Amino acid sequence: MPFPLNPQLLPKVVLRLKALADENRIRLLLRLKAGPCNVGTLSQELQIAQASTSKHLSILRQAGLVKSTRRGTQILYSVSDRSIYDLCSLVCDGVVRHLKAEHAALNLTPRSAGKGKRS
């Protein structure tokens, strides 16, 4: 049974999925799962240029996935919607299933091809 999707929400859904369609943004979300962090530390730990880190965080913030909080002179970023990790798990599980199926197909192909032939 498909879930009902309000057509007016579709652009927001697309925005969120687009925000996830970048390896560095996924890496940022995974790092932020451990707790809030500032741009400089995120940049250093993930070895992403600070300007790029800021840009990626801005995209994640626009999609409603991260939030920023000022603490003194620092701005700390944290995950605002932890359900994103459920989505990541679903996608990762699907990737693993797909890779296993591909691997199984590759392993069957050479054996199958050789069984019916006689020399």
Q: How confident is the model at residue 37 (pLDDT cuts 50, 70, 90)?
A: very high
Mean pLDDT of the region 21-33: 96
Look-up of token digits 């693993």: 96
1 pLDDT tier (thresholds 50, 70, 90): very low
- Tell me which amino acid residue 64 is: G
- Whole-prediction pTM value? 0.77
- Distance between CA atoms of 110 and 113, rounded to whole angstroms? 5
Q: Which pLDDT does position 115 carry in this prediction?
A: 54
